[in-house]
Structure 1
C-alpha cells in the first residue's frame, strides 16, 4: 500500500496534472487588450503586433536593437556628488537611488554608448524612464556632456533618445541647472559641425522638453508619444480653454511643425541610418551583410558608355 501511495499515485498525477505556466510568458497590450507572447513582443521591440501600440523599452534593449549585431561600447560618465542636498521625503534620496539601481541594473537614468549603426559610426545617449521616471539629474547632465565630448572626439553624430517626467526633485536647483548645461553641450556639437538627432519617446515632458530634447537638427518621435512642457490640465486652467483632441501627442506636434517625422520603432534604425549618412555626406547604406559594391569604372564599362 505504501508503494502505491508513495510512488505510483504521484507518478500518475505528475503525468496527467496540468502544468503550471509562468505568468511572465504573456503581456497584455494596454491599448487593445491582446495577449502577446513575450518572445514575439521582444522580437518586435515591445510594439504590439496587433495595434502597433508602443510599450516602454529599457535603454539597454534599445541600444542592442540599434547597433549592428547588438554590439556597442559604453561611454564612461563621471559620477556626480551623491545626495548633495541630503534630501528626504518618505524615504532618503540615497535609498531611492539604491532601489532604482537594483530594479534596473543601471547607474542612473541615462546610458551612453558608441558603435556602428548600419556600418556608420555614431554615439547614442538613451534616457531610461524605468529609472525614477527618467528624471533629469546631475548624472544625466554629465552623461549628455560626456556623449557630446565623445562625439566630438570621434567626429561622429550624436543621437539622443529622450524619455522623462522632468527634473529630479530630490536634486532641486542642481537638477534644473542641467537645462543650460546640456544646451551648451548641444552647442558644442553644432560648432563642431556634427549632427545632433533627437528621438522623443513616451513621455518627454518638463525641463527635458525645454532643453536638450527640442534642440536637435532633426526631431523624430515615436507614434503617440506624449511630448510637452506643462501638463494639459495645467495649461487648460491657465488659458481657460479646452485643448484640442490629441494635444501634446506626437502626431499633433508633427501636424503643427514641431517635429520632422513620426516613425515606428521597428523602422527607426533604417531611418536614422539614412538621415545620419545624408547629413554626413556619405553614400547610401547598403542593405544586407555584403560589402558595398566596387563602382570603379572598368574598361568594359568605359567601352559600353561610348
Structure 2
C-alpha cells in the first residue's frame, strides 16, 4: 500500500483573501475602501486566485517530475521507453531485487538465486550450481581450528555452501567456486564485514545395527538394499530431511525419525534395536542411558555410514517371526 502524499499547503482562496485584507491597515492605513468594486481589492482577488492555482500544483506530482525521479533511480543513461506506469512498475521491481549482502538472508538468496546468473558462475558450468546455503554471522568458519569455529568472531560472516552434486554423499565446493563466489560477494558486502565462503563440515554418524521384522513373503534382499538407500537418502544434504529438500544445517539426528523411516518401507512390519554411533559429546541420552538424539552444530551436516549387512532381517512364518 503506497504512503499517502502530504498536503504541502492547505490555504484556500478565502484564506488568502482574508489574510491579504488583514494586512491592508498595517501596510496602507489610508486605504479605507475594501469593497469588491475597488481596483485594489480586485487585484488582491486575482493574485489570490493565481496563488491558489500554484498551491494546487505544489500538491501534485507531474509526469515530468516522475520521469526525473525514475531517472535518478535507474541512472543517468536511463530514458523512458513506453508508457509511464510500466516504467514505474519495472523500476519498483528492480529496486526490490537484492543487491547488497547485509543480512544472513541476503547472503543465502544471493548465493542460491542470483549467483548462477552471473558470468563468473556460467564460466564454471555445473560446478557453480549451489544446492544449499547457510549464512552464520559472527563466525569464522574458514579457520582450520575446529574449536575456534564455535567462537564468537565479531565482524565475520561465513557462508556455508553445498554444491548441487547429488551423486556425492558429502558434497564439497571446489576451490574455484569458493574463490569466484567470494569475489562476487566482496562487491556486495558491508565495508566493515569480513566474509568467508566455505564448504560444510560433516558429522560422522554410523548406523551400526537395526532389526527389521518383515511381513510374510517379503523379499529379503530387496528390503535390505532399500533400507540402506532410504537411510542414505534421508540424511543426504540435498535430498534428505522430512521434506526431502535436503538435511538442514545444524538439524539434530533423532532416533525416532530413523525408526519412522525404516518402518515405512514396504514389507516391513516393525523395527527394533536400532543403534546409532557418533562422537561421545554429541550423543543425548534419556535418564536410563538410551540414546535419543545426536547434536549437530549450526554449520554441520550428517555423513551417514550405513551398510546392507548391518540390517538384521527376520521373516514372518506362520504368524510369528523367527
- TM tier, shorter chain? under 0.3
TM-score, normalised to structure 2's length? 0.21
Larger relative contact order, structure 1 or 2 (CA cutoff 8 Å, min sep 6): 2
Question: Rg bigger for which structure?
Answer: 2
TM-score, normalised to structure 1's length? 0.22
Which of the pair is proportionally richer in strand?
2
